[in-house]
Amino acid sequence: MGHYDHLGYGGEGSMYKGPRKIHNGADDNASGTAAVLELAYYFLNNKPTEKYNYLFIAFSAEEKGLLGSQYFVQNPTIPLSELNFALNMDMVGRMEKNMDLTIEGVGSSLVWKSSLNEVDCDAFPLKLKMREDGPSDHTAFYKMGVPALHFWTGKHKDYHKPSDDIEKINFEAESQIISFIESFLLKMDDLEKVEFHLRKK
């Protein structure tokens, strides 16, 4: 999953101080939307037949308070009990040299840490965080008892500003992130259903 909305001309939520100007949101979250589309293309066209079905979905109104994802979990197109887990890609386009790929939500299942660390990855180190309820769409799923992870490359000085634009995107690194998620999903496809974990905080 990923959200495809941003802030339009700014206003509420914008960090920009100046005359009215379009906020394209290249990283937040065209990068995540592109990742969803690339993953969908990969799983549609790869040779193996996966054990599980995959639902690729992009939400609107994330910037208004996760409205799109909250609506979905309250009015799901399939029973939430049939969902194995959820992966969220929000801001995966600004990886710099020697930067970690941050993965939040590791506390939502006891299998996440070992499963993520078992995926071969020499492109970047992983930073695994237990936090399950960050300000993005995976939180709506977590609150409904669905194990959920959030992949992102971190906040930057262009966050919620007009300067978050295409020339700042690291396309090579994002491609590597997408490849990592492909490998991770194929690994999870070999496992049994992921059990939800409610962590004591």
Geometric angle at alpha carbon 152, from 85 and 94, rounded to 5°: 150
CATH code, domain carrying 147? 3.40.630.10
pLDDT score recorded for residue 50 = 93
pLDDT score recorded for residue 48 = 84
Q: Is residue 197 part of a domain?
A: no
Amino acid 114 reads S
- Render pLDDT for 114-141 as a digit per residue (tens, 0 to 9): 999 999 999 999 999 999 999 999 999 9
Q: Is residue 196 part of a domain?
A: no
Share of the chain above pLDDT 90, in %: 96
Q: Is the pLDDT of residue 201 over 80?
A: no
Domain that holds residue 30: 2-189
- How many domains would you assign to the chain? 1
What is the average pLDDT across 47-55? 92
- Average pLDDT of the residues of the chain: 96
Q: Is residue 198 part of a domain?
A: no
Q: Is residue 112 part of a domain?
A: yes
- Render pLDDT for 161-193 as a digit per residue (tens, 0 to 9): 999 999 999 999 999 999 999 999 999 999 999
Other CB atoms within 10 Å distance of the CB of residue 57: 15
pLDDT score recorded for residue 200 = 82
Q: Is residue 201 part of a domain?
A: no
Q: Is residue 181 part of a domain?
A: yes
Q: Is residue 9 part of a domain?
A: yes
Q: Is residue 199 part of a domain?
A: no
- Render pLDDT for 138-163 as a digit per residue (tens, 0 to 9): 999 999 999 999 999 999 999 999 99
- Render pLDDT for 3-39 as a digit per residue (tens, 0 to 9): 999 999 999 999 999 999 999 999 999 999 999 999 9
